[in-house]
Amino acid sequence: MTATNYILIWGMNDVVIVEEIIKQALIEDCPAGDAAGDPLFNDETTAARLIAKENGIVSGLSVFEKTFKTVDPDVSVKTNKQDGDPFKKGETLAVVHGRIRSILRGERIALNFLQRMSGVATLTRSFVHETKGTKASIYDTRKTTPLLRALEKKAVWDGGGHNHRMNLSELAMLKDNHLKSSANVKEAVNRVRRAIGDDIRIEVEVETITAFKEALSTSCDIIMLDNMSLGDMKTCVHLNGGEKILEASGNMTLKRISKVAATGVDMISVGMLTHSYKAMDLSLKF
Amino acid sequence: MTATNYILIWGMNDVVIVEEIIKQALIEDCPAGDAAGDPLFNDETTAARLIAKENGIVSGLSVFEKTFKTVDPDVSVKTNKQDGDPFKKGETLAVVHGRIRSILRGERIALNFLQRMSGVATLTRSFVHETKGTKASIYDTRKTTPLLRALEKKAVWDGGGHNHRMNLSELAMLKDNHLKSSANVKEAVNRVRRAIGDDIRIEVEVETITAFKEALSTSCDIIMLDNMSLGDMKTCVHLNGGEKILEASGNMTLKRISKVAATGVDMISVGMLTHSYKAMDLSLKF
Amino acid sequence: MTATNYILIWGMNDVVIVEEIIKQALIEDCPAGDAAGDPLFNDETTAARLIAKENGIVSGLSVFEKTFKTVDPDVSVKTNKQDGDPFKKGETLAVVHGRIRSILRGERIALNFLQRMSGVATLTRSFVHETKGTKASIYDTRKTTPLLRALEKKAVWDGGGHNHRMNLSELAMLKDNHLKSSANVKEAVNRVRRAIGDDIRIEVEVETITAFKEALSTSCDIIMLDNMSLGDMKTCVHLNGGEKILEASGNMTLKRISKVAATGVDMISVGMLTHSYKAMDLSLKF
Amino acid sequence: MTATNYILIWGMNDVVIVEEIIKQALIEDCPAGDAAGDPLFNDETTAARLIAKENGIVSGLSVFEKTFKTVDPDVSVKTNKQDGDPFKKGETLAVVHGRIRSILRGERIALNFLQRMSGVATLTRSFVHETKGTKASIYDTRKTTPLLRALEKKAVWDGGGHNHRMNLSELAMLKDNHLKSSANVKEAVNRVRRAIGDDIRIEVEVETITAFKEALSTSCDIIMLDNMSLGDMKTCVHLNGGEKILEASGNMTLKRISKVAATGVDMISVGMLTHSYKAMDLSLKF
Amino acid sequence: MTATNYILIWGMNDVVIVEEIIKQALIEDCPAGDAAGDPLFNDETTAARLIAKENGIVSGLSVFEKTFKTVDPDVSVKTNKQDGDPFKKGETLAVVHGRIRSILRGERIALNFLQRMSGVATLTRSFVHETKGTKASIYDTRKTTPLLRALEKKAVWDGGGHNHRMNLSELAMLKDNHLKSSANVKEAVNRVRRAIGDDIRIEVEVETITAFKEALSTSCDIIMLDNMSLGDMKTCVHLNGGEKILEASGNMTLKRISKVAATGVDMISVGMLTHSYKAMDLSLKF
Amino acid sequence: MTATNYILIWGMNDVVIVEEIIKQALIEDCPAGDAAGDPLFNDETTAARLIAKENGIVSGLSVFEKTFKTVDPDVSVKTNKQDGDPFKKGETLAVVHGRIRSILRGERIALNFLQRMSGVATLTRSFVHETKGTKASIYDTRKTTPLLRALEKKAVWDGGGHNHRMNLSELAMLKDNHLKSSANVKEAVNRVRRAIGDDIRIEVEVETITAFKEALSTSCDIIMLDNMSLGDMKTCVHLNGGEKILEASGNMTLKRISKVAATGVDMISVGMLTHSYKAMDLSLKF
């Protein structure tokens, strides 16, 4: 059974015709021939192993495979892991078989994708780990790498996190700047609701308990507690009494995350999952 | 005087019709309307300041500006800095003026570019700092984010680094795997030289002093000392006697970089400049 | 003040870089020169009036203008109406001024857009008219013309309707087929909620009162009453007691719509708004 | 034998790399995952029947199939009809087999194409029916949906109609506005003929008998009788004596078409075939 | 008055959104920066003259200008000639003013277009010259450079030639291979006519007088005399008696062209105009 | 074994996703159906032979094949030659088998590619022939057809030539205009070297012996002797003593090339290889 033409998000799938991204990435890396590989090889084949050089969570194996297939349909990739699986230093995650010069062509690009996505998944998993036993879920943000949002959001999912709104169209988030448009929060929420109809949720961002109370009295669905102290968060959870969905946000670090989760909020969004991750150290051995 | 249609690399410029990247990024972020901003604003305008929330080196101001201009040509951006300039926490780097709903549209995307590029520039600058007074220059690698290589390479330059080959076509780098194609290094170098002609440099990667000596005897232009000890590097520099250009490579860290530079190598390439940087904390205040 | 680079939906705006659509449409219509206009005209200019040949609601004026501007930036369009305005047979909606051969180039394409969008707006307005005084709003569906969804959804808004989900990503709608995946509705809703997180609403489609009761007991946000009798709809509204948002759906016609609205449902979705409208009769007089 | 990469017009074929259109339509409908289908299904398969809910003429089966194949190459479509075949309410036109979540992805888009094309074919067939026994053929116009012209023109053919010029380049049609460029019709026709050479036909539009006589005296190939009374049309047919090809045009309705055909004209062009058709009621049953 | 967004063919214009071609050509020539110009120049400006180094006919000045404008909107181009004008060795055809590094970027590409198009125009003019005083016109063919057909066809026009069909859709040309589909020529012509309707001309290719007679008896519009002797051509012209349009074809050379024209044929098509021209020697002097 | 997704340059390969070029070329040639082939054929198949009508060197067979495959995956192409092979008038280079109407669709485009590429290869081979026995190699330039550079450069290779820089990014070539930026050549070379780092070669263009001596004293890698007399070239070779790589350039003709080669230069670049070649006479016989 061949693969479908979309990749998986939500532990499930998201259509991103990644093919286009892969093609562009390959052209970016080789606009006018491989000056080293092309003169040296014809159709000689080899097998190359994808080796982990540190521990982590893998994400992006289908992108890795599709990159080689785009270069040369004859290359085959056998994977020992599935996206979301943990791996140990020294483990072989996959074996790539095919023409040497095709593997040399795809190698760097395939790794550039896989190392980044696995970096996101690994970082996410460590945040998720810190919140175990609480009702809080870890969410990503829109602070993603331009053009790679779908890949990074999938990696967050593979790491055990949840995906916050994919884009501006999916959720109406009212921040400070939005609220200046109206006499008060309630009016702003109502104006948005009338405009967008009943399909889409509305979230209001607050920074103080006073603002939180005002938001509570509107028909919004979610309230974001932005940069609040742990004490204030607890107060909000208490005042809320389960009425609205509560999201904590603002420079979340691994150190602080378990305490935030313990306040009783439902969602914690972490910008660094997608903007300041470290690429995993993975390499291809011929 | 309006801007040219290319952006600067080499402290100078690289044509990257970034327009396409910006358009795709905007669509990625807003496939079906801004559910919050669109219902609340018409043509009201505002001025928003771009504020630094930590110290660093700025890179990507023209991409930042072009993002807003793509959303709405009426938005104007005044910058107080130039790419490559240092900034301090609290400083205002630029002021954006125009329709509120247009600024809300472009904000996240403009920042996603600028924060990443400034992250790369800032990290690069710290590596460059450590090598001051030596003859070694800091170079980037091909371990860049797919589709954003030109932007990241420009950011490396803005940080004071140099750009290693942009792609597979610009330099013939012979690694382990390439050498298996031939009886010995000399033959491999000669085969490549015959094929690619006289325009393009050839670099040979070595891991031992024995291999280094063999490479020295070929007509290659550059020799890469891969994952060598400081002692071995010094030996190679000595053996070389200025004959070939020498590049040190392999998991370079800020800690170790000054010692590597002190060995007398010409180039030091650092993968993490583009694969494991941290986005700078910059934000837009209305 | 020049126009922004997005068009308006939600009475507001939706980014659709329509430029691409317009360019493709112009190439579709003129792959190899205008065999009649090109040989006859050079730079002679004229003014052409856009005349209504029947009554209706206008939508798409910015697309109309942008089409001419894409052909020739020197063409100017002055509009007497705004999107959403009613017009009468014989009225002049706009005046186009510029090179004759450029106007001949853009004419058919500009009209093809405008006549369709105005057709959608006009049809929508008549449905909206029938539901005045009730709490029901008219919604469109995903039964839109491929590649023109944003334009048609904007036209629905201009006609006074609301926009149902723009795409599969914005709302989780569980139909018959989806429910087969799980032991019961509640489980299906819960599985979806766990997967998609808290950002996005869930709607459940039901065809019987029994199914409606089951849906009521889940944590879904909206229930769609599909192809129900007026009596059953009323029963559902009663059982609901304002708990969930109710949507009526299924072959809605102008004849029946006021009775459906009278049942007390919140949303009525009408497929024909975008799949079986009539292009308005509008023409350009030189 | 696999399918060629073009679709059929002229009862035959027209290359339209529809693949691009299908891809764009799928992305339009699913920019960030299927919020309902993705969380509920993995690789479970099903068979779904394409059912007619009214009588009509089918057109677009290959586009229907290609849409599913683009989502997922493993989906297979078996058709019981060929484009141009009539179908009855209740008939199964095709069976789709494959992964449930892939069918859910493609369903709406595949139907959006097929319902529209079949709507065009069905409307065309009814016009063709009214002209049986006369020498008149039914033609479409350039009043097509932007970006879908080739598909709609193919549907007209499948309905038994003929395709008028595909675009501005294929035929020089001189209308009122064109004639203002020259002292008289003859001069205009001659100027165009000199410019375009001998490959391409020239058509002159006339609204009166006087104008018709003038056109008759030129070297044009076709004369369009625009908005003429039946009486005037007959006069023109008589005056013509078989010299030129005659086309009747202007708000043609099903009611009036047989009388127009009876006047003896060769071509009758009908704008509504492609601008005001009704989508056929077709649906997919799992 | 700014330029329209289409370029001129037929002495007139053909829409070819050449912008796309120019962008791609610029990226092809500079994927990763101008290694020489970028390090040496900032915003210094200069004026560069476009000099002819041989005699010829100019074509492509608007493409030349647009290339520089695409690189940098600040570059301005002043032309002393119009497309179709003759130029002498040593003449200055245009002056380019702007940033040095922008001119260096665009120079080669702008010349690559202009030298080719002027080469086509110049060659065409010499063929046209040989047929002066006869009724024969010089036509191009479909043997054009892939992706540059519109530009080359415009250049043929600028040289005084005519444009044969732009593509397969504009004229039905029946060659040997097509005729095998039917019992005889008449049947083939009739089948095509029935299929394509009345808009498009039909041409039949013949190689012998017998075949010519058969073609004469059909309702085709044009007959192509393929690779006939001068004597046979004269016979065909005589037999035709002005009934059909006659085209001579087959390895036409400058030497033979005047004799072919003297036979009385209407059209002479010359493949080499677009497949074997010589680029004009033009250069840019700073 | 299927083909990889890149084509060969350097006797080897260059990734050029030619697919895109082929698709665009096919659309250019058939925007709205094949007016002759489509009405006459259904699925009838044939075999067509690709025949040489003159002697030459073949280049572009994979592009030829891919063109047909893009039209219709069922078409198969069997080749009797490989790129770079000589062919004689009358020889059959390949046989194409498949649907007649698909072959008619692809024929002209497939030949347009193959005839041009073989023209380049054939012309190159004749230059290479003239330099046999000398140390000089024949190089192409950047004077290539826009969008087809990779194809033409591959053809040069197939003809036995070498590829000069593919684009502005691969080699820093300092011409007259560049040198004006600096006090003297040495400074210019140093500035460029500092900017571009150590990866890329620098070439300096000189026209006099004085200038040559100055260039000799810099750290450049290659010196181009532009438009020099044979005597001056010899002097330069002598002065050089093997220090730098020497390239001769400037209106090289077949007549003069052997004398230039005899001067002892390393490289001779010939613009006409790619800007003034003659398409080979090849045709398809059904």
Residue A33: its chain F contacts at CB < 8 A?
9-10, 12-15, 166
Calculate the average pLDDT of chain A.
Answer: 91
Q: Residue A129: which residues within 8 A CB-CB, separation 6 or more?
A: none
CATH number of the domain located at residue range(s) C3-128+278-285 in this protein? 3.90.1170.20
Of the pLDDT bands very low, low, confident and very high (cuts 50, 70, 90), residue C17 is: low
Both tokens assigned to F204 = 């300096």
Quote the pLDDT of residue B73: 85
Q: Are A241 and A258 in contact (CB under 8 A)?
A: no
The 10s digit of each residue's pLDDT in C181-230 is 899 999 999 999 998 999 999 999 999 999 999 999 999 999 999 999 99
Distance from CA of A252 to the nearest CA of D (A): 25
Q: Residue C203: which residues within 8 A CB-CB, separation 6 or more?
A: A199, C171, C172, C173, C174, C220, C221, C222, C223, C224, C247
Which stretch of B80-94, B168-182, E78-92 has the lowest confidence by average pLDDT?
Answer: B168-182
Q: What mean pLDDT is predicted for residues A204-233?
A: 97
The 10s digit of each residue's pLDDT in B218-256 is 999 999 999 999 999 999 999 999 999 999 999 899 999
Residues in chain E with pLDDT values less than 50: 1-3, 7-16
Of the pLDDT bands very low, low, confident and very high (cuts 50, 70, 90), residue A6 is: low
Which superfamily does D133-275 belong to?
Aldolase class I (3.20.20.70)
The 10s digit of each residue's pLDDT in D80-92 is 999 999 999 999 9
Q: Are D110 and D93 in contact (CB under 8 A)?
A: no
Q: What mean pLDDT is predicted for residues F243-267?
A: 96
The 10s digit of each residue's pLDDT in F127-151 is 999 999 999 999 999 999 999 998 9
Calculate the average pLDDT of chain D.
Answer: 91
A6 interface with B at CB cutoff 8 Å: no
The 10s digit of each residue's pLDDT in A99-125 is 998 999 999 999 999 999 999 999 999
Quote the pLDDT of residue E16: 44
Which stretch of B271-285, C122-136, F32-46 has the lowest confidence by average pLDDT?
Answer: F32-46
Q: Is the pLDDT of residue B28 over 90?
A: no
CA-CA-CA-CA dihedral for B106, B112, B115, B120, to nearest 10: -140
Q: What mean pLDDT is predicted for residues D187-212?
A: 95
* Residue A205 Cα to chain centre, angstroms: 22
Q: Is the pLDDT of residue D9 over 50?
A: no
Calculate the average pLDDT of chain B.
Answer: 91
Of the pLDDT bands very low, low, confident and very high (cuts 50, 70, 90), residue B7 is: very low
Separation of alpha carbons E136 and E128, rounded Å? 9
Of the pLDDT bands very low, low, confident and very high (cuts 50, 70, 90), residue F20 is: confident
In the residue annotation, F176 being an active-site residue is answered as: no
Q: In what order do the strands lie in the sheet with E202-206?
A: E137-139, E267-269, E245-249, E222-226, E202-206, E172-174
Q: Is the pLDDT of residue F164 over 50?
A: yes
Both tokens assigned to D261 = 């055909």
Q: What angle do CA E213, E218, E221 make, to 5 degrees?
A: 100
Reduce the DSSP state of residue B31 to 3 states and report it: coil
Which residue ranges does chain D devote to CATH 3.90.1170.20? 3-128+278-285
Q: Where are the alpha helices (DSSP H) in chain B?
A: 18-29, 37-40, 61-71, 100-130, 149-158, 176-179, 185-196, 209-216, 230-240, 257-262, 272-275
Q: Residue F231: which residues within 8 A CB-CB, separation 6 or more?
A: none
Quote the pLDDT of residue D39: 85
Q: Considering F226, F232, F234, F281, which one is annotated as catalytic?
A: F226
Separation of alpha carbons E179 and C275, rounded Å? 43
Separation of alpha carbons A212 and A35, rounded Å? 61
Quote the pLDDT of residue E13: 38
In this complex, do B9 and E43 lie within 8 Å of one another by their Cβ atoms? no
Q: Nearest by CB to F195, which of B10, B164, B197?
A: B10
The pTM (predicted TM-score) of the whole model is 0.92
Separation of alpha carbons D33 and A13, rounded Å? 6
Separation of alpha carbons E265 and E263, rounded Å? 6
Quote the pLDDT of residue A14: 41
The ipTM assigned to this model is 0.93
Phi, psi of E250, rounded to the nearest 5 degrees = 115, 100
Of the pLDDT bands very low, low, confident and very high (cuts 50, 70, 90), residue F193 is: very high
Quote the pLDDT of residue D144: 96
Which residue ranges does chain F devote to CATH 3.20.20.70? 133-275
**Interface-testing mutation among F153, F198, F219, with chain B (most B C-beta atoms within 10 A):** F198
Residue F286: its chain E contacts at CB < 8 A?
176-177, 180
Calculate the average pLDDT of chain C.
Answer: 91
Of the pLDDT bands very low, low, confident and very high (cuts 50, 70, 90), residue F17 is: low
Separation of alpha carbons D155 and D162, rounded Å? 10
Of the pLDDT bands very low, low, confident and very high (cuts 50, 70, 90), residue F228 is: very high
In the residue annotation, A20 being an active-site residue is answered as: no
Helices and strands of chain F, counted as H and E runs = 11, 12
For tokens 């068009």, name the residue: C7
Region for B109 from its dihedrals, namely left if φ exceeds 0, alpha if ψ lies in -120 to 50, beta otherwise: alpha
Q: What mean pLDDT is predicted for residues D139-159?
A: 93
Calculate the average pLDDT of chain E.
Answer: 91
Q: Considering A205, A244, A247, A266, which one is annotated as catalytic?
A: A205
Burial E124-149 (b: 16+ CB within 10 A, else e): bbebbebbeebebbbbbbbbbbbbbb
In this complex, do A34 and F13 lie within 8 Å of one another by their Cβ atoms? yes
Of the pLDDT bands very low, low, confident and very high (cuts 50, 70, 90), residue F16 is: very low
Separation of alpha carbons F222 and F205, rounded Å? 9
Separation of alpha carbons E192 and A249, rounded Å? 69
Distance from CA of D279 to the nearest CA of E (A): 26
Task: State the DSSP string of A225-255.
Answer: EES--HHHHHHHHHHHTTSSEEEEESS--TT
In this complex, do D11 and E166 lie within 8 Å of one another by their Cβ atoms? no
Q: Neighbours of D (≥3 Cβ pairs closer than 8 A)?
A: A, B, C, E, F
In the residue annotation, F175 being an active-site residue is answered as: yes
Chain C residue with minimal CA distance to B71?
Answer: C5
Query: Count of B–D CB contacts within 8 Å?
Result: 5
Q: Is the pLDDT of residue D263 over 70?
A: yes
Torsion sign over Cα B224, B228, B229, B233: negative
In the residue annotation, E142 being an active-site residue is answered as: no
Distance from CA of B275 to the nearest CA of C (A): 29
Burial class (CB in 10 A: 0-12, 13-18, 19+), D168: buried
Range with top average pLDDT, C113-117, D98-102, D163-167: C113-117
Q: How far is CA E246 from CA A203, E130, E132, E209, E238, in A?
A: 74, 19, 18, 13, 11
CA-CA-CA-CA dihedral for B142, B144, B149, B153, to nearest 10: -80
Quote the pLDDT of residue D17: 58
Quote the pLDDT of residue A15: 41
- Residues facing residue E200 across a β-bridge: D200
Residue F137: its chain B contacts at CB < 8 A?
197
Quote the pLDDT of residue F1: 37
